């Protein structure tokens, strides 16, 4: 499954996952580590396990394409994409907060309506009782 297909970023563990994400061979991505591929090693040493953030890997690949070709249009595109992604993330967070607030408001309105219906129902029963007793 391609994480980018769903715009989901994940932590990749091991060279095999990293290579698969970058659609390259394991030896190739190990060589890219020496060229600056953003991988982390939880323990010191060149033979220790590696982990990587898929978003950082994708960013590194896009930047690497720019520096290889010196394509300034590509650089502008990359920067605009980053701005749009950050703006999108902010807007999504704001939308989540607003949806949560709306849900809370709806629950409060629902509770108020139920309370009013119960009180009106009790009032009707009382009136009916008084009318029956008076007749």
34: left (phi over 0), alpha (psi -120 to 50) or beta: alpha
Q: Which domain holds residue 51?
A: 1-69
Q: Are residues 56 and 97 in the same domain?
A: no
- For residue 2, pLDDT over 50 is answered with no
Q: What is the mean pLDDT of residues 8-23?
A: 89
pLDDT at 102: 96
Question: Do 65 and 3 share a structural domain?
Answer: yes
Q: pLDDT per residue over 66-114, tens digit each?
A: 666 666 676 777 788 889 989 999 999 999 999 999 999 999 999 999 9
Residues 121 and 57 in one domain: no
pLDDT for residue 124: 61
87 and 120 in a single domain? The answer is: yes
Counted domains in the chain: 2
N-term to C-term CA, the chain: 77
Q: Are residues 116 and 75 both part of a single domain?
A: yes
128/124 Cα distance (integer angstroms): 6
Question: Are 43 and 82 part of one and the same domain?
Answer: no
44 shares a domain with 102: no
What is the pLDDT of the chain when averaged over all its residues? 82
pTM of this structure: 0.46
- Give the pLDDT confidence score for residue 68 in this predicted structure: 64
Which residue from 20, 15, 7 is spatially nearest to 47, judged by alpha carbons?
15
Domain boundary pick from 69, 88, 117: 69
What CATH number does the domain containing 1 carry?
A: 1.10.10
Q: Are residues 123 and 86 in the same domain?
A: yes
Q: Where does a domain end: 69, 99, 126?
A: 69
């Amino acid at each position: 499954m391609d994480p980018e297909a769903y715009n989901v970023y994940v932590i990749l563990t091991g060279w095999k996952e990293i290579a698969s994400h970058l659609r390259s061979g394991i030896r190739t991505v190990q060589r890219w580590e020496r060229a600056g591929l953003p991988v982390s090693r939880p323990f010191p040493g060149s033979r220790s396990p590696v982990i990587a953030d898929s978003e950082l890997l994708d960013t590194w690949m896009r930047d690497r394409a720019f520096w290889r070709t010196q394509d300034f249009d590509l650089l502008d595109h990359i920067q605009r994409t980053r701005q749009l992604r950050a703006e999108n993330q902010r807007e999504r967070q704001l939308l989540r907060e607003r949806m949560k607030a709306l849900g809370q408001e709806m629950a409060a309105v629902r509770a108020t309506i139920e309370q009013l219906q119960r009180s009106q129902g009790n009032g009707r029963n009382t009136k009916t009782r008084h009318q029956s007793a008076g007749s």
